[in-house]
Every structure is written in structure tokens, then in C-alpha cells.
Chain A
């Protein structure tokens, strides 16, 4: 059985201009111990999916269709109290902009212990401290910095502290939302590698959200490419990256330099994503698509199977 199943998920935001469909009919599935990368431009709905998985949509956002099943439990149907129990113990999160994710007026140690204390009332203080120290060792942070305030940490240290925090309760699933964006390249690389090691070591499922397809391709088993609230291409990482089918994916691959991949010319993607308020009859990418045809604008595209695990949402690929 899959660790996580997202079925036909749609999420909307109420705005002054009307309902904004941030996520529209997305299907995902993740096995235990596997990692899935979600890539796309900002505003494509990837972070919204991450938040929905934690049950943390903002007050004006709501799931309008489909469901999320984690380890056999339908998360999308839980009430707030039940959700609270699931959070962190089942699904943890490594935040976008780790710099601001630590509370500046609370010591790191306290921020670490509070999660454990909340979910494990049975553990005594000593056991909790031991656990925290263990986690610090695990992510390679010096123990004497445990009781520092966040501003005394460097960016990389903060990121590690957050990773340690995410591991605190042995969650089955970790959502990593742009975990390394604000870090410099060397630290970024280090942390990504270590994350991968940890993931394999503890057999955790990871959903890796990023706008950088090259990084995702390096770290994850599978990739899902999102565009304007829809999944447009999904498949094994290497395949999606090197054998991209969807014109958007190709454009994404072309717009980032890679350290590992072959040298190629960077090509920016012209145009902007469509406004998600109101109905869009045809393909959402057609305005920016080189293969645009008349039918694209009128008919919604259908999923095409490239191979058993590689699918693409395009009628012309």
C-alpha cells in the first residue's frame, strides 16, 4: 500500500475577485521510503499541496474536491484536533525560508523539545533531552550550541536544526518546501546530500518541493511537474529530466544550469502563467507553448502514457 495517496485533489482560495483554483485535480502517490519532487514556477500550487498535506491551508483556502490519504487515514476528512495529532508525528515539514522558520525569541533547544513534549506526554524531560541531543549529533550540529538563540546560528545551522526538528518524532512523511533556497551553493549541496542519506537511513517518504528541477532530479526518485495548478508530467526523476515530454518541463530543464547534467544553453520561458480565477477551457500552457494548436485552446488535454511510470498531460507529445 502506498504511504500517501492524493486523489483528484482540488484546492481553492476565496479572494476579492472570486474563487482562485490554486490546485486542480492533482493525483499523486508515494511509497514508503521513496521521494517525490514537485517542481514548477511560483504560484503553480506546489506549496499549496504541501500545506494541504499538513492540513495548514490559510483561512481563506479549502479543499474543494478529492482526498488525501496518508497511511490509510484520510487527512482531508480529519477535524482540527485529530489533524493536530497527525502533524509532526506523521508528517513533518522542512520549511521554505528556514531563516524565518525558527522563533527568534525562543532558544533552539526549547523549540526542539516542545514538539516532542506535545506529542509524547509519556516521555520524561531527560529522555526528551537525550533525543534532542541525538538529533543534533545526527544532523552534525555541535551540542554546545543547543541552547543558543536562532540568530546566533548561521543559515546552514538553522537549516540543520530544522531538519533535526523534522526528524524528532520519526515521521513517515516529510515535506521539504524549498529547503535550501536561501543557502549558498556549497552548503546547499551538503545539506541535500545529508538529507538524502538520512532519508534512506530512516526509510522516510519525502515530498520535495522546489522550483529547481535540476536539484530535484538529483535528490528524488520521482518527479511531478506542476503548472498552473495542474500536474503536467510525472515519472521517474532521470526520465523526466533527461527525457522530458511536456513543453513546459523542457522549458524548465532548459532554464536552469546543472552541475551534473550536460552543458546546454539556458533558455528562459516567455510569457506568464494564466490567471487561475474563473474557468480555463483548454490547455493552460498553450499561450506559452511552441506546439500550440487551435484545438489546444478549446479542449482540455488528456493524460498520455509514455511508459508505465512516465505520464504527460499533453495531446501533442
Chain B
């Protein structure tokens, strides 16, 4: 009995202790005054890895973009490439097919000198280990040689248009830090794996910040790099700092929490695009400024040209006519996006061809239906109940038959799941409804992202899909990768299976064209070819909405893709 009694007391004691702790916690830990000169940035997830070669997620890239710097980056206003670690424009020797680049006299964050050896080492590392995400930018480089300590010469196997925009924007790693790792990898059975799995807790970089403390799952503290080469310098008209002591990346698992934290002042900036629904509550907050920026994105509906029913261009054109991009943008994107008519966003004004077919743009739903009906009827499609009746009125179509008379089999539109991107999942639903109104047996099916990619890219086992690129390179080289027949194989990027000898030839040529004017013409022509064949229906290019508190810091720099960029972080100042 005594034991019983004791047990009971113990239970009560524990309960009491727990409550007291919680209460005390609540009373004592009122937030201390915000640390001065620290910029607090809210992110959705913590960075997964600080190993540049492994990090694929957006959150790691955000941190690493402030550490490992490339030779050239884009300037916010003009969107032109400007020297960053490089000291001046590359000098091209057409005869020898070489580029010579002079480097800045920069220092690594450990105080050692940044030299040509580091650039050469990075290139060798990428080519030797066939580094994913970088290899394609370097595979055409014969070799890189050091002219002197601060000059490198790139020798190309063949001319490549992407050299300037892609190869020269590769982040450079420190030879000293990676040498040993590479040495240990060379003997290994799976050398690439050794590199990818190397755990790097303190990457040495040339950028404005270095990682100081990483509290797993909670925050990453980056402090200003005293050796940053741009400190106090003016680069392309921007006077750089950084003027802040450091940055704290705080992890908020949900956008709601991050938005509330922003409104409460627990963070100064939420480095992620904000859903339109939040704008209502942010607009009235006088401490918060909203930036709406363009991004270079391409969200599209893709078809499988390898099999029925989308092997028929008439059907693809009819579908393109039925899809109301205006509806998607106005309602699903709440107006924060621009209509795409071509594979190149209009923002990329140099390469954008405004003169491509626009399939029903600006028309009402009924007009679209009539247009699509005409296209299909002319191509030999028949219906049990045609969507346009004898009086020319639009009705609900049923039982569409292919030109050969067989009924159209049910087809699926694969989309990413709603948790990943509600816009695309929702667009898929709406497209399904529009196609059904024309009598087509369409089913929209959201699918886990990995599974979707595997089906579309790995196995080519699909009918149609909605995917997108949020950060499309400004160089139109991707047009070749997306539609060249060479990439029409498992894991290749030509997912829809578009094959055209004329297009292949043209895209090869454009890829090697070093004269911008000539290349522009070819790219225009390619866009026209694509929009006539419609392997993809370009849908929209969303805008980036970002929220920034203006009560503590000023000097944010908007650019393509938003204010969350290295220029902003090098220039903002405490108020």
C-alpha cells in the first residue's frame, strides 16, 4: 500500500514539475532584443548539404550561392553577364577557339589567395568525375590552362554558345579544400559517390558570407566573410558590402508560420515566393514591402508524340486551342503570372519570337470549342455527340473517335501533386474538364514528383503531363535539349519524343553559332517550328512575389527571379 501511495505521489510530482517547467519557460524566455546587424531570413526547409556537388535542393543552393562564386554573374538591371570573380570580359580567339579570362585578386575565406589553379581544379574535377548538373557545361572544354597566377585560358573542342552563359557561371571551389577529397576518391570503387558523400561542414568560399553555425533543423548562421573580394568595391555600378554582420536562415516548416513570423518581425525576409492568398494580409502592413518580380520560367503541358492519341498534330493543336491560359492565370495564379505563347518567355526579349501561332488566345470558351471542333473535324475525328451541334451551338461533346474510326482511349494528364505545386495540380484538373467538354476521355492525375519524372523521362510511359522550369536559363540552349532527337531516349530531356531532322540540324547549328544575331534568327525559326508542331503547350510564367520588412534594413535589389539574390545581400544596410 505504501508503494502504491508513493507511486501516486510520483505521478503527481512529475506532472507538476512538467507544468512548472513549461510555465517558467514561458515567463523567463521572453525574446531578447533582436541581435543587431543580423539579417533574419525565413526559409521553408533547412539546407540539406553544404557540399556544392551534392546539393540539389533550392534551400542548400540559397546558402551556397553566398559562398561559392562563379567567374561571371548577371547584373540585376540589364540582366547581362558581368565579371564577378573575373576581372574583365573574356577575350575570344576564334582561330584557336580559346577564351582568356583575367581573374580578380580575391582571397578565399580562410585567407589564402584565389588563383587560376582553383579554376583549373574545378574544371578538372567536373570533367573527371562527370559531375551531375555541371558536366554538360564542361564536356566541350579541351582543357584549361593558367596563363599566369591570375589568368586562365579555356581551350574549347568546338564552339559552344553556352560557354559564356553557362560554363563561366559555374561556381568555383577551393583547390586546397577539395584536393585531399579528390585524392581519396580516385582510388575508390565509386569515385563520384565518394565526392558526393563527402560531408562538408565548413565550405571555404570567396563569397560575401561563410557558414558559422548550423543548428540542425532550426537555423543556419552565416557571418560576413572578411576576405570577400567585393567588399567596399563597386562592381557594375553596385557598391558592395556586405554591410550586415551576418545572416540567420530560420527554418519555418510551413508558409503560414513564415508569413506570420514576417508580420511579427521575427524575420526580415521570407526567401520564397508567396502565394497570392497571403497578399491580402501583407498589403496593409506598412512595415512590409512586397516585390513582384518576373522570373524566367516555363510551365507547360507536354504530350507523348510516340503513341496514340497525341501522335496526331491536329489533336495537339485542338488541345492547345481548348486550354484557356487566361483562366489559369487569372484564377489559379490569381493574376500573378504571364501567358506564354512560345517556349521562350517574353521577358527574354532578345530570343523571344512574338510571331508564333497563339491557338485561341483571347477567345471565349465557346469560340475556342468551335475552333477546336473545326480542327478536329477537318482531321477526320468524329463524335457520338459533337461538341458543336447542327445549329452551331456549343453543347457537351461525347464519344470522340479517332480518324480511323476507333474510339479514343482514356488518356491521363500527369501533374505534380498538390503539396508540391497546387497550381499545376489544379491546372490539370481544369484542363481535364475542358477536354471532357469536347468529348475527350481525359483524366488528370497528380503524381509524386519522383514517380512523375520516372514515368515521363525514364520510361516514356505517359500520355500527357504538366511540368515546368522555374529557373530557366536565359540562354535558349535548352530548346535543343528539349526537342533534339538525340535526347529522345530514356533519361534524355526530350520527353515528348518530338523528332524532326530539320529541327535537329537547325538546333545543332544554333548551338554552335557564336554570332548572336545569327543565333537569334535560328532560335526564332526553331520556336516557329515548335509552335506549329506543339509537342508542348506553353502555359504560363509565374511571377515571384516576395515580402520584405522595411523597418530594419533597406537597399534590396530587385532582379529577374526576385529580391532574394546575392546583390541584395551584399548591399542592404541596417536602418
Contacts and interface: CB of A to CB of B under 8 A. Distances in A.
A73 interface: no
A114 B1 CA distance: 8
B4 interface: yes
Interface string B1-44: 10010000000000000000000000000000000000000000
A211 to B, nearest CB: 35
Contacts of A110: 1
Contacts of B4: 106
A315 B1 CA distance: 56
Interface in B351-409: none
A106 B4 CA distance: 9
Interface string B43-78: 000000000000000000000000000000000000
A150 B1 CA distance: 14
Contacts of A106: 1, 4
B550 to A, nearest CB: 67
Nearest to A105: B4
A66 B473 CA distance: 100
A110 B2 CA distance: 9
Interface string A104-133: 001000100110000000000000000000
Interface in A80-116: 106, 110, 113-114
A47 B1 CA distance: 30
B366 to A, nearest CB: 68
B3 to A, nearest CB: 9
Contacts of A114: 1
Contacts of B1: 106, 110, 113-114
B462 to A, nearest CB: 64
A110 B1 CA distance: 6
B490 to A, nearest CB: 67
Nearest to B2: A110
A256 to B, nearest CB: 41
A282 to B, nearest CB: 54
Nearest to B4: A106
A114 B4 CA distance: 13
A233 B323 CA distance: 98
A110 B3 CA distance: 11
A114 B2 CA distance: 10
A178 B1 CA distance: 28
A114 B5 CA distance: 13
A113 B4 CA distance: 15
A106 B3 CA distance: 10
A132 to B, nearest CB: 13
A188 B34 CA distance: 83
A9 to B, nearest CB: 36
B135 to A, nearest CB: 71
B207 to A, nearest CB: 67
A51 to B, nearest CB: 25
A58 B4 CA distance: 27
Nearest to A110: B1
Nearest to A106: B1
Nearest to B3: A110
B8 to A, nearest CB: 13
A113 B2 CA distance: 12
A113 B1 CA distance: 10
Nearest to B1: A110
B285 to A, nearest CB: 60
A182 B1 CA distance: 28
Contacts of A113: 1
Nearest to A117: B1
Interface string B130-142: 0000000000000
A231 B1 CA distance: 42
A197 B155 CA distance: 118
Q: Among A110, A113, A114, which residue has the most Cβ atoms of chain B within 10 A?
A: A110
A110 B5 CA distance: 12
Interface string B338-358: 000000000000000000000
B5 to A, nearest CB: 11
A214 B4 CA distance: 44
Nearest to A107: B1
Nearest to A109: B1
A164 B1 CA distance: 19
A110 B4 CA distance: 11
A220 to B, nearest CB: 35
A129 B14 CA distance: 33
Nearest to A113: B1
A129 to B, nearest CB: 13
Interface in B176-215: none
B204 to A, nearest CB: 65
A167 B264 CA distance: 73
A146 to B, nearest CB: 14
B472 to A, nearest CB: 71
B496 to A, nearest CB: 72
A187 to B, nearest CB: 29
A148 B1 CA distance: 13
A106 to B, nearest CB: 6
A106 B1 CA distance: 7
A120 to B, nearest CB: 16
A115 to B, nearest CB: 11
B1 to A, nearest CB: 4
B11 to A, nearest CB: 16
A106 B5 CA distance: 12
Interface string B450-470: 000000000000000000000
A160 B553 CA distance: 86
A117 B378 CA distance: 103
A102 B1 CA distance: 14
Interface of B: 1, 4
Interface of A: 106, 110, 113-114
5 contacts: A106-B1, A106-B4, A110-B1, A113-B1, A114-B1
The 5 closest A-B pairs by CB, nearest first: A110-B1, A114-B1, A106-B1, A106-B4, A113-B1
